[in-house]
Amino acid sequence: MLSTIPLSLPSLRQHSIFIPPPHISTSGEEEWEVLSRPGEPSIPSRSSKLAISDRDLFVVMGREIRMTSLPAEGFDALEGAVGNYKTLSSTLVCFPILQIVPNPTGRLLAVIGQTQIVVLVLPKGGMSSGEVQCKSFAIDEYQFSSTSSSKISKVIWHPLGEGGNSLWILTSDGQLREYDVRQPEDPTQTFSFLPEYSKPSTSRFTAIDPLENYATSFCFSPAAEEGLYGLMVHVLVASGDIYTMGPVIPFHAGPSIISLRNMRAYTDARLDRAEDDVFGEASQVHARVLMQHQWVESLIKQAKTGEDFKKREETPTKIRSIRASSEIPSSSPPPGKVVVRPPHLSESGGPAPGIHRPILRQGPIVFTPRPRDGDEFDEDIALDLAFILPAPGDDEKKAVNDFQVIVVGWASGTLDVGVLLNRPEPRWVSSRDPEDLEIQATTVEIIRLSSEERLSIQSSVEIVSDPLFPETFYVQHERGVDSVNVAPLVSKLFQSDQGQLAQSSVTRLVESTSSSDVNIIGTVSMCNISLGYCLIALGSSGQLATVELDFQPSSSTDVSMSPAKSVKVIPAAIQSEDPQSLLVRFDIDNLVSSLIRPAQPFNPYPLLRKIPDYNVPLQMISPEHLKGFGTVSEAFQTRLQAIQDASDELEHRVDVQIKEYHRQLKLLKDCHMRISELHSQSRRKRVEELLRAQEVMSDRLTSLISRLAVEYRPQVGEAEKKWFEELDRLKSRVAGNRGLTARVQNVKQQIETLKPRRKEEEDLTGMGYGSRQIKPLEMALSSRSEEIRRLMRKMELLTVKVESGLGDGTV
- Which among 95-99, 301-305, 391-395, 423-427 has the top mean pLDDT? 95-99
Query: d(Cα 544, Cα 430) in Å, to the nearest integer?
Result: 53
- What is the pLDDT of the chain when averaged over all its residues? 79
Is pLDDT larger for residue 488 or for residue 529?
Answer: 488
Over the stretch 787-802, which tens digit does the pLDDT of each residue have? 888 888 888 888 888 8
Among the ranges given (491-505, 553-567, 720-734, 749-763), the one the predictor scored with the smallest mean pLDDT: 553-567
pLDDT(434) > 50: yes
pLDDT tens digits for 258-279?
Answer: 889 889 999 998 888 888 765 5
pLDDT of residue 569: 38
Instruction: Pick the most confident of 143-157, 425-439, 553-567, 589-603.
Output: 143-157
Q: pLDDT at position 378, please? A: 63
pLDDT of residue 598: 54
Query: Across residues 666-679, what is the average pLDDT?
Result: 85
> Residues 6 or more apart from 35 whose CB is under 8 A from it?
none
Phi-psi region of 613 (alpha: psi -120 to 50; beta: other; left: phi over 0): left
The DSSP output letter for 168 is E
Asked whether residue 372 carries a pLDDT value surpassing 80, the answer given is no
In the chain the first and final C-alpha atoms are separated, in Å, by: 153
- Is the predicted pLDDT of residue 38 greater than 60, yes or no? no
Alpha carbon 579 to chain centroid, angstroms: 32
DSSP string, 652-694: HHHHHHHHHHHHHHHHHHHHHHHHHHHTSHHHHHHHHHHHHHH
- Res. 564: pLDDT tops 60: no
With 70 as the cut, is the pLDDT of residue 307 above it?
no
Over the stretch 613-662, which tens digit does the pLDDT of each residue have?
666 676 666 677 777 777 777 777 777 777 877 887 788 778 788 888 88
**pLDDT-derived band of residue 7, with 50, 70 and 90 as boundaries?**
confident
Which pLDDT score is estimated for 535? 94
Band (293; pLDDT cuts 50, 70, 90): very high
Of 73-77, 100-104, 401-405, the range with the highest mean pLDDT is 100-104
Q: What is the pTM of this model?
A: 0.66
Q: Report the candidate in 98, 161, 49, 131 with the shortest Cα–Cα distance to residue 57.
A: 49
- Across 291-312, b (16+ Cβ under 10 Å) vs e yields bbbebbebbbebbeeeebeeee
pLDDT band at residue 314 under the 50/70/90 scheme:
very low
Note the Cα 780 to chain centre separation in Å. 130
Instruction: Name which of 172, 269, 247 is nearest 217 in CA terms.
Output: 172
Domain ranges in the chain are: 1-29+41-149, 579-617+624-675, 725-767, 769-811
Q: Which helix (H) or strand (E) holds 89?
A: strand 86-89
Cα–Cα distance for residue pair 763/772, rounded to 1 Å: 20
pLDDT digits (tens, 9 = 90+) for 228-265: 888 999 999 998 899 999 999 999 998 888 889 889 99
Helix or strand holding residue 264 (H, E):
helix 257-275
Between CA 680 and CA 674 the distance in angstroms is 10
Q: What pLDDT shows up at residue 168? A: 97
Which long-range CB contacts under 8 A does 746-753 form with residues at least 24 apart? none
Identify the CA nearest to 693 among candidates 681, 704, 701: 701
Residue 253: closest CA among 322, 324, 180, 186: 180
Say yes or no to pLDDT of 688 above 80: yes
pLDDT on residue 488: 86
Q: Give pLDDT, residue 802.
A: 86
What local confidence, expressed as pLDDT, does residue 567 receive?
39
Handedness of CA 631, 635, 638, 643 (dihedral sign): negative
> What burial letters (b/e) apply to 427-459, b meaning 16+ CB within 10 Å?
bbebeebeeeeebebebbbebebbeeebbeeeb
Average pLDDT estimate for 112-133: 86
CA nearest to 533, candidates 484, 477, 469, 471: 469
pLDDT for 248 = 95
Backbone φ and ψ for 698, nearest 5 degrees, come out as: -65, -40
- Taking 70 as the threshold, does the pLDDT of residue 28 lie above it? no
| CB distance 550 to 557 below 8 Å | yes
User: Is the Cα torsion angle 23, 27, 31, 32 positive or negative in sign?
Assistant: positive
Amino acid 642: pLDDT = 78
Judged against a pLDDT cut of 90, whether residue 43 lies above it is answered with no
Cβ atoms of residues 107 and 122 within 8 Å = yes
Using omega within 30 degrees of 0 as the cis cutoff, is the peptide bond preceding 424 cis?
Answer: no
Q: What's the DSSP call for residue 359?
A: B
pLDDT greater than 50 at residue 571: no
pLDDT of 774 > 90? The answer is no
Mean pLDDT of the 497-513 span: 79
Is the per-residue pLDDT at 753 higher than 70? yes
Cβ-contact 243, 228 below 8 angstroms: no
Model pLDDT, residue 279: 59
Q: If you average pLDDT over residues 497-522, what whole number do you get?
A: 78
Strands 472-477 and 56-61: unpaired
